[in-house]
Amino acid sequence: MREAIGSTWLFQIVIVFILLFTGYMCLSINHSKAFAVKDDIIEIIERHNGIDLTKSAKNGNKTLEEIASRLQTAGYRTNGNCSALGKKDSNSGFSEWYGFNREGNAVGNGENVTFCIRRMNVSGNIQTTTNSGLISELPETVYYQVGVFYQLDLPVLNYLMSFSLKGDTRVIYNPNEK
C-alpha cells in the first residue's frame, strides 16, 4: 500500500512539471509570433511612409489591407484590449489608441481588438512669425506605436493570462496619411 501512495505522488509531480513545461513552451511560441507580427506591422507602416488611422481597410486604406493580409498568412488570432497598452496622456503628446480587427477594420478599443496603433507627433507646433505670416520651422514629423497581444493558453486549461507587446516605427517626415 505504501508504494502505491508513493507512486501516486510521483505521478502527480510529473504531471505538474509537464504542465509547467507545456505552459512555458506555449507562452514562448505565442510571444515569438506576436513579436513577428508587431515587426511586420511596423515594417509595413514604414514602407508606406505612414498610415491613415481614420480609414479602415474596407474604405480603401492600402496599408491596412496589407497588414490584414499579413495577419492572415501569419495565423495570428489573439485579441486584446487597447487600454491595456497605456492611457492617453495629454501632457506628453500621446494620442489615443486606434484598435483594428483581423480584417483591418476599425473596431474601437473594446475586447476584440487584434492590434492597436497610435500616432505620436514629434515636431509639435513650432512656428515662427515672419512678415508673410506663420511658417513652420520643422517638417511634420511623426512616429507610430504598434501594440499586439499574446496569451498563456494551455491545452487543457485554455486561456489563462493575456500580455501585450509595443513597438515604435522610425521617425517619419511628412507622413503619407492622405
Specify the pLDDT at position 35: 94
pLDDT at 20: 84
175 compared with 87, residue with greater pLDDT: 175
Q: 68 versus 134: which is more confidently predicted?
A: 68
- Specify the pLDDT at position 77: 82
**The three cell numbers locating residue 120:** 505620436
pLDDT (mean) for 145-151: 91
Q: What's the whole-number mean pLDDT along residues 78-99?
A: 73
**What is the mean predicted confidence (pLDDT) over 75-91?**
75
pLDDT over 80 at 82, yes or no: yes
Q: How far is CA 9 from CA 2, 16, 18, 20, 65, in A?
A: 11, 11, 14, 17, 54
Dist CA 120 CA 142 (whole Å): 5
Specify the pLDDT at position 160.
72
Instruction: Look over the chain and give the mean of its residue pLDDT values, rounded to a whole number.
Output: 81
What pLDDT was estimated at residue 33? 92
Annotated domain spans of the chain: 2-173
Residues of the chain with pLDDT > 90, as a percent, come to 22
Q: Which tens digit of pLDDT belongs to each residue from 18-75?
A: 888 888 888 899 899 999 999 999 999 999 998 888 887 778 888 999 999 999 888 8
DSSP string, the chain: -HHHHHHHHHHHHHHHHHHHHHHHHHHHHHHHHHHHHHHHHHHHHHHTTS--TTS-GGGT-HHHHHHHHHHHHHT----B-GGGG----TTTTB---EEE-TTS-B-TTSTTBSEEEEEEESSTT-EEEETTEEEESS--EEEEEEEEEEEEEETTTEEEEEEEEEEEPPPEES----
The reported pLDDT for the residue numbered 148 is 93
pLDDT recorded at residue 14: 92
Q: List C-alpha distances in Å: 146 to 8, 23, 44, 123.
A: 48, 26, 11, 19
